[in-house]
């Protein structure tokens, strides 16, 4: 199970959008990179502050949102 604690929501960061580890990396930007065809290793190589687990957590978070399942672990 991906670690959803990597996805954080803070009203002072990116207007409260879900982000990766309190950084200014909104989940939607991660999803844009993946949907454009970038592989996890390419994203991490281009943005070394991100970790593969951040990408996986972002994908899992998005899946939970569209499935209607509760998203409880987001801090």
Count the domains in the chain.
1
Task: Give the model's pLDDT for residue 69.
Answer: 76
27's CB contacts (< 8 A; 6+ apart) are 7, 17, 18, 19, 20, 58, 61, 62
2 or 13, which is more confident: 13
Q: Model's pTM, two decimal places? A: 0.89
- Is residue 10 a part of any domain in this protein? yes
Distance from chain centroid for Cα 46: 16
pLDDT tens digits for range 14-71: 999 999 999 999 999 999 999 999 999 999 999 999 999 999 999 999 999 998 877 7
SS3 8: strand
Q: Under a CB-based contact definition with an 8 Å cutoff, are residues 26 and 58 in contact?
A: no
Residue 7's DSSP bridge partners are: 20
**Which CATH number goes with the domain that contains 33?**
1.10.10.10
- Is residue 15 a part of any domain in this protein? yes
């Amino acid at each position: 199970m991906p670690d959803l604690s990597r996805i954080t929501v803070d009203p002072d960061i990116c207007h409260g959008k879900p982000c990766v580890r309190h950084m200014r990396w909104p989940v939607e930007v991660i999803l844009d990179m993946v949907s454009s065809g970038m592989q996890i290793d390419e994203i991490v190589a281009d943005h070394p502050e991100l970790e593969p687990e951040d990408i996986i957590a972002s994908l899992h978070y998005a899946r939970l949102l569209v499935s209607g399942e509760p998203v409880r672990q987001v801090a």
